[in-house]
Chain A
Amino acid sequence: MRTLALIVRLFRSAAKIQRKRMILTVTAIAWGTVAIILLLSFGEGLKRSLETGKRGLGEDIVIIWMGETEKAYAGLPAGRPIRLLPEDVDLALASVPEIASAAGEMHKWDVQLVNGRTALNKRVVGVHPAYRDLRTSFAQAGGRYIDELDLRLKRRVVFLGDKLAKDLFGAADPVGKTLLVADSPFTVVGVLNKKRQMSMYGGPDNDRATIPLSTFEAMFGRRYLSNLVYQPTTTALGPVAKRHLMEALGAKYRFDPADTRALYFWDTIEDAKMMNAIMIGLEAFLGVIGALTLIIGGVGVANIMFAAVTHRTREIGVQMALGARRLYITGSIVLESLALTFAGGVVGIGVGVTIVQILAAVQARVKSEAMEFLGTPTISIPIAVTTVTLLGLIGLLAGYFPARRAVSVQPAEALRFE
């Protein structure tokens, strides 16, 4: 405590010199701080943007497409097509406890949708109600998604993508209105809540019509699913769920559970892991660029500290002659360097945060696809911690080396210095 008070005292007595150079140094540190904050904020914004985009498809889901066996199994030859039925969804749920939720999906392209004089050929899908949560297809206020009753009664109800609803009905609220789907009248029950979808299969969710799977089967005479969507209970159990599902379906359709071609799996959990790794890499890259800029500022601090120490050699010699221990002198020099870095850091953080806020405000106003993808620059706690830690480290190092040099000479030599 006494040592600290002493160091502060010596620091205060020394800090009044070289004002202009000090301002330049503080500016360099501020500049570096602004750079690192902006880069990391944009990285964070991009990361969050990608995360919401990922949620557009559905979180932690697996999608299965039908394939052909590659291996002969149980006396059956290779090359048999494997086709799943709607009841296989129930089979999956019943026999694989690691599957939390599952839904079947059937597709048909170019189905004519007619509202009055507007006719469009669009994609129609038939789904189980669980599809809503799996594929984040929530209805806008005033509407609903396909439900169990629709499925059981094979109701002629349709849920529209938001873009499609606009194309068919314009500004009017389509809920409750009648739409001709392949010449059959359907009641619109809901419109998709606008969402950002970055990955998709067969087109975006906002440009298609969704009907109950049972209705789809009856209308279009389909038996087989186009694909099956499921979600494991936890992401960690994903591989187990997949293996058990292959075993259950393999037993039913008599294919080798190790046959990778019988069914195709799109595992978005794996994708997310990969994406995460890429994002971490990107953030590290941005961080390193920012850190390098900041370190250049740190070199400036070290430079001014070396100059200050040289300038004050005699003064330091006097202090040593009067009995200052090494720690008092190094401490006051390091403190000075930390103070410079701290001042630069405060200015830099202030400017950086302001720029981020201005950019975010501009972005909220100007709607553009590219800007939306880039995301809103965001300052997070880790960014703040990284920046402050780096600043502290730079301050310490930039002070330590000049300080070490200052106390490395004999007091007699320091006193002789002119």
Chain B
Amino acid sequence: MFGNGGNGRNGREKQDGTDDGAIIALTGIRKVYDTGAVKVEALRKVDLEIRRNEFVAIVGPSGSGKSTLMNIIGCLDTATEGSYRLRGEEVGGMSIDRLADIRNRRIGFVFQNFNLLPQLTAFENVEMPLLFKGVPAKDRRERVETLFEQVGLADRMQHRPVELSGGQMQRVAIARALACEPDIVLADEPTGNLDSAAGSDIIGKFEELWAKGHTLVLITHDGAIARRTRRIVHVQDGTVVDDAPAA
């Protein structure tokens, strides 16, 4: 879906500065957690736009609201206020099942702790979003096999997560995130539970995906990793304090 053609088109958009390439457009996003006695404002007035084939790092200290931001971008949580347009479509007010479909088709997730289902094989884990999408069995098999080749784990498909190393698990998770050809891949501290070699390998994988035309958003507190992306968004105290191309 996002082959070289898409890449080329994206490049053109960057040049003329139009925003019809914006996949994600957050305007005035506010998120308040109401825990009964205390109201915590995790995000206040966040405006953020992410375009096709960007490679963005969202960085900030813990408690800055970057995870909340990622949850909202990923439709895992809904904003208290503000507008979120995903490829021009307003997400606020969508039904729970509609949001599930959006997550299924448009967004791929990579988590810090991999979040693979332990009782399923690697193959079955990657197959799951395709199952939810309703892809027929034969196409599912082909797609999953392609994905495993892409992440270089074709020989590990029938292993269970416990039989895989951290780096391998994260690569399975990446394969799973890509299964339904999403508009955007969201990665929340994808290297947080990995040693530096495996972490570097995973970031390398992301660079590869970006080169192929994918849009990637990384949440991290690691400056070294952030510097390998192309744009760094600093979040602090629930708002964007700095947004600049990576040096």
**Are B131 and A9 within 8 A (Cβ)?**
yes
**Are A315 and B117 within 8 A (Cβ)?**
yes
Q: Which of B104-150 contact A (CB under 8 A)?
A: 104-105, 109, 111, 115, 117, 119-120, 124, 128-129, 131-134
Task: Closest A residue to B74 by CB, please name it.
Answer: A321
Task: Closest B residue to A327 by CB, please name it.
Answer: B97
Task: Closest B residue to A324 by CB, please name it.
Answer: B132
**Are B78 and A323 within 8 A (Cβ)?**
no
Q: Which of A59-75 contact B (CB under 8 A)?
A: none
- Answer whether residue A326 sits at the interface, using C-beta atoms and an 8 A cutoff: yes
**Are B120 and A322 within 8 A (Cβ)?**
no
Interface residues on chain B, size class = 20 to 34
- Answer whether residue B1 sits at the interface, using C-beta atoms and an 8 A cutoff: no
Given the complex of chains A and B, what is the CA–CA distance between A391 and B58 in angstroms? 52
Say whether chain B's binding surface is mostly helix, strand, loop, or mixed: helix
- Answer whether residue B176 sits at the interface, using C-beta atoms and an 8 A cutoff: yes
Task: Closest B residue to A322 by CB, please name it.
Answer: B129
Which residue in A14, A317, A325, A413 is a CB contact (below 8 Å) of B132? A325
Task: Closest A residue to B102 by CB, please name it.
Answer: A323
Per-position binary interface string of chain A over residues 294-324, scored 1 when its CB falls under 8 Å from any chain B CB and 0 otherwise: 0000000000000000000011011111111
Q: How many residues of A contact B (CB 8 A)?
A: 27
Q: Separation in Å of the A11 CB from the closest CB of chain B? A: 12
**Are A13 and B117 within 8 A (Cβ)?**
yes
- Answer whether residue A2 sits at the interface, using C-beta atoms and an 8 A cutoff: yes
Given contacts A315-B117, A326-B96, whether A321 and B124 have CB atoms under 8 Å apart is no
**Are B124 and A13 within 8 A (Cβ)?**
yes
Q: Which residues of B contact A9 (CB under 8 A)?
A: 131
**Are A410 and B76 within 8 A (Cβ)?**
yes
Of A2, A314, A320, A407, most B-chain CB atoms within 10 Å:
A320
Given the complex of chains A and B, what is the CA–CA distance between A413 and B109 in angstroms? 15
Which residue in B103, B105, B132 is a CB contact (below 8 Å) of A6? B132
Given the complex of chains A and B, what is the CA–CA distance between A324 and B129 in angstroms? 8
Q: Separation in Å of the A65 CB from the closest CB of chain B? A: 76
Given the complex of chains A and B, what is the CA–CA distance between A315 and B180 in angstroms? 20
Interface residues of chain A, those whose CB is within 8 Å of chain B, are 2, 6, 9, 13-14, 16-17, 314-315, 317-328, 407, 410-413, 415
Some 11 contacts from A to B, beta carbons below 8 A apart, are: A6-B132, A9-B131, A314-B115, A322-B104, A322-B129, A323-B103, A323-B105, A323-B180, A410-B71, A410-B78, A411-B76
